[in-house]
Structure 1
């Protein structure tokens, strides 16, 4: 069997002024693309994997239209050059926004379907924060998504999508897909599978998947920081028993709807001032605060300076701020010594403009993701400034800069829910409700193109029709 692999994967906030260009994507082809997936080396599958193109970017703002068109065109050209395919694995995120478009993944899937023809099976792997429109599902034969948030099962999900595809190609026959959208749109920090009700909702999937006649079941919470009609939760159940997949999809959708008011933030929340005061007074170390409104791994610009402005009032304490992107400030500070900078607020200047920062450069580091990184110490405040946007998820991210959250009074990170390593390290944690392109307060963002009524925008809406549609 010959199976192609392709995809464009990014999570895009339409509320961020950042624009994602070609330089933001890591593009792989050929042997480098196959090397992403360990299961391509499994000879027992008896598959010739055909690498086409895969492009992945750190979450950010909407993708420039010419960049999307160029990547898509190359995928389509490579499909034409590849010769006959039996199947195609579409490795996408599901929340890609493209300037001037409202459903980029559906467009990509539609074009890929036209290129491979109606008989080639397409299996998609997605993030559970993707948005699943009917237009997208109609182009697919199989689709699944992560079952954990944080996404500790990312690679497991991609492998499941691939192995399900191989199994269907061997056994023959296209399965039924039962799709239903749920008019609920919540941020990821309220739908973590670490806590209820998401823990139990996703906990049902294994038992459903084990039923005779069902191949896969998937729940998407959707992506809250894009303003598009497709943005809402969804369920797809896949299998050979049409009646059963419809029934189970409707049940999962109904359970999700019933639980809508039970979703809560994964950590205690508050204003930034409140969180800083609580953290400093606690005496607990290490203590983390999530600067959630500008989380670059959710689509934030990474240079919102509002939090940095607040932290400059606490220079008498030892605080690590990770991080803020500002190539202009890095270019000045990388020479070392004493510096006076205007930091941040140059991409997303909405909440606050550039912040004056005077201090000493205590570290210059070259990083494969963040480029040149400098640490500027101003009193006890240690500000990490990066040349390119970079998330801080690991102890090594801090150790590389000679910083230790265990020794700091407070560590403030541009993040939503803490990723596993920091979560395990933290003795204290608060989620600050800060402004930015991925503001947790969805109401104040001002969505205009989502389909209404939609919870929580319309908290008193009537119970929706959650009938599953057989695709």
Structure 2
């Protein structure tokens, strides 16, 4: 029987974010499933929207014997601590060592992990697994669309395959694609590799694949796949990791080197041709709220605002108060915001009980420039233990645990307060504390794009606002110091070296 070792270790690292990822963050997972080992992986990873789930289903259909080691993930944040990385990577590598004779290995990774001691967290773990299995055993890896792919990752693996949707509704599909490619490798097929890094950073809000230009780019990418080019990926990258290989990339696998090169070069040319389109309007908090209120007066569905710079899916702590202040200051009605992560406020609400009025210093505890706690009195409308199912297309039925949570009301603005962070990408993240999202005039989601999967169908319009946060909507606003020379720090922006010199001279 074909024996395949499987493992997963996912983290998206914002090196400018305020909080690092400790080991415990991977144990409970945040918005991801909790850490699972051995046979438990085959149960907890089943029928959910993660790469490992898709791979397991495809592998079982092929009658492969799976050797599960460890799967874990943590919410995006600053660097993964050395302790956490070495403990998790060590357990995965040790599991592969103990697996005995293997026919292949599958790794479910993110592709944008930076640790306290490695810029390229994925390249390091792929290389460690390669050292164990040797050069002839196939090793395939599924990656996030936001992967900052490095030469080491390409060199040490037989195939890297990235998601094609943002919101990521195809994570399980990508695991299935990895299994299908591994099946080709097991039949002794081998493919040439082509890898290209693009010349400009792409802000995450404009990486969305339900809008242009990415919608048509991915359609054309899929059309280029064939028998001679079995898999082709475009990763727009995660533009908040300050190291040389940060940025968009294209990677292709072909029957010949010429096949792989031609496919990769076609996508590179297509993306570069859309450089002007990787931008769009971002509102200030007050302008965004006033615009939403004006449209809401005659709208039949909620106006949805993305609080994009405090996106916990990009390293924010999900506790900045800029959008809440704008809602209250402008007298918004039938408005709701979530999730504000503040364990102390949630605990105070639980102690006071439903119906109580409490004075709080809410949020604003991450030390973000221009942000501060919001001090006011709130009515405790609803309490929850934070456990619920998120059935929307992004979380895909995952069990969520935000810890002690509450719905707090100030005027006619309601705030979802939780104790653990996860970006608001599912309508259930309002409903679990008694807020019906479809009945609101304005919804403010601490997310950049993933919320679109579940909220576009109920939204009158979606707008982006830039309140203070850890993930600037404009990538040029970040204090870059270690990018590769020449990469433009935003579409049509300055090249990195020029930007660094201007900073020094200012």
Q: TM-score range by the shorter chain?
A: over 0.9
> In structure 2, how many angstroms separate the alpha carbons of the residues matched to 1:326 and 1:404?
22
Q: Which residue of 2 aligns with 1:161?
A: 178
Whether the 8 Å CA contact 1:287–1:405 is kept in 2: the answer is: no
What do you get for the CA RMSD once the two structures are aligned? 1.9
> Of residues 194, 199, 202 in structure 2, which corresponds to 1:186?
202
Q: Which residue of 1 aligns with 2:263?
A: 248
Q: Which residue of 1 aligns with 2:12?
A: 11
Cα deviations by residue, 1:233-279 (Å, 9 ceiling, x for unpaired): 111111222211112212211221222122234xx531111010011
> In structure 2, how many angstroms separate the alpha carbons of the residues matched to 1:315 and 1:107?
51
> Of residues 106, 115, 119 in structure 2, which corresponds to 1:98?
115
Q: Which residue of 1 aligns with 2:499?
A: none
Q: What is the CA distance between 1:100 and its match in structure 2?
A: 3.5
> Of residues 448, 470, 477 in structure 2, which corresponds to 1:444?
477
Q: 1:310 to 1:100 in 2, by over 3 A?
A: farther
Q: Which residue of 1 aligns with 2:452?
A: 419
Q: 1:380 to 1:371 in 2, by over 3 A?
A: same
Q: What is the CA distance between 1:14 and its match in structure 2?
A: 1.2
Residue 276 (structure 1) aligned with residue 284 (structure 2): no
Q: What is the CA distance between 1:7 and its match in structure 2?
A: 2.2
Q: Which residue of 1 aligns with 2:223?
A: 207
Residue 401 (structure 1) aligned with residue 433 (structure 2): yes
Whether the 8 Å CA contact 1:301–1:348 is kept in 2: the answer is: no
Q: Which residue of 1 aligns with 2:397?
A: none
Matches within 5 A, 1:57-76: 57-76=74-93
Q: Which residue of 1 aligns with 2:42?
A: 34
Q: Any idea what SS the aligned residue of 1:377 has?
A: strand
Whether the 8 Å CA contact 2:293–2:332 is kept in 1: the answer is: no
Q: 1:114 to 1:127 in 2, by over 3 A?
A: same
> In structure 2, how many angstroms separate the alpha carbons of the residues matched to 1:293 and 1:271?
11
Matches within 5 A, 1:254-265: 254-265=269-280
Q: Which residue of 1 aligns with 2:190?
A: 174
Q: Which residue of 2 aligns with 1:468?
A: none
Q: 1:359 to 1:460 in 2, by over 3 A?
A: closer
Cα deviations by residue, 1:15-53 (Å, 9 ceiling, x for unpaired): 111111222223111222123225535555131111011
Q: What is the CA distance between 1:406 and its match in structure 2?
A: 3.1
Q: What is the CA distance between 1:460 and its match in structure 2?
A: 6.7
Residue 230 (structure 1) aligned with residue 245 (structure 2): yes
Matches within 5 A, 1:332-371: 332-335=348-351, 336=353, 337-368=356-387, 369-371=401-403
Q: 1:292 to 1:458 in 2, by over 3 A?
A: closer
Q: Which residue of 2 aligns with 1:467?
A: none
Q: 1:366 to 1:315 in 2, by over 3 A?
A: farther
> In structure 2, how many angstroms separate the alpha carbons of the residues matched to 1:458 and 1:400?
39
Residue 324 (structure 1) aligned with residue 337 (structure 2): no
Q: Any idea what SS the aligned residue of 1:411 has?
A: strand
Q: What is the CA distance between 1:188 and its match in structure 2?
A: 2.1
Structure 1 unaligned residues grouped into runs of 5+: 463-471
Q: 1:126 to 1:366 in 2, by over 3 A?
A: same
Whether the 8 Å CA contact 1:225–1:437 is kept in 2: the answer is: no
> In structure 2, how many angstroms separate the alpha carbons of the residues matched to 1:357 and 1:419?
31
Q: What is the CA distance between 1:73 and its match in structure 2?
A: 0.6
> In structure 2, how many angstroms separate the alpha carbons of the residues matched to 1:152 and 1:316?
32
Whether the 8 Å CA contact 1:145–1:157 is kept in 2: the answer is: yes
> In structure 2, how many angstroms separate the alpha carbons of the residues matched to 1:88 and 1:81?
13
Cα deviations by residue, 1:90-113 (Å, 9 ceiling, x for unpaired): 100111121242111111111111
> In structure 2, how many angstroms separate the alpha carbons of the residues matched to 1:311 and 1:202?
36
Q: Any idea what SS the aligned residue of 1:89 has?
A: strand
Q: What is the CA distance between 1:325 and its match in structure 2?
A: 0.6
Whether the 8 Å CA contact 2:203–2:490 is kept in 1: the answer is: no
Residue 56 (structure 1) aligned with residue 69 (structure 2): no
Cα deviations by residue, 1:347-394 (Å, 9 ceiling, x for unpaired): 344331222021211111112321111111111121221111132222
TM-score by length of 1: 0.93
Q: Which residue of 2 aligns with 1:469?
A: none
The answer to which structure has the higher strand fraction is 1
Q: What is the CA distance between 1:206 and its match in structure 2?
A: 2.4
TM-score by length of 2: 0.86
Q: 1:69 to 1:228 in 2, by over 3 A?
A: same
Q: Which residue of 1 aligns with 2:409?
A: 377
> Aligned residues, how many?
458
Whether the 8 Å CA contact 1:304–1:348 is kept in 2: the answer is: no
> In structure 2, how many angstroms separate the alpha carbons of the residues matched to 1:261 and 1:404?
38
Q: Any idea what SS the aligned residue of 1:438 has?
A: coil
Matches within 5 A, 1:119-158: 119-158=136-175
> In structure 1, how many angstroms separate the alpha carbons of the residues matched to 2:113 and 2:478?
19
Whether the 8 Å CA contact 1:305–1:351 is kept in 2: the answer is: no
> Of residues 84, 101, 104 in structure 2, which corresponds to 1:87?
104
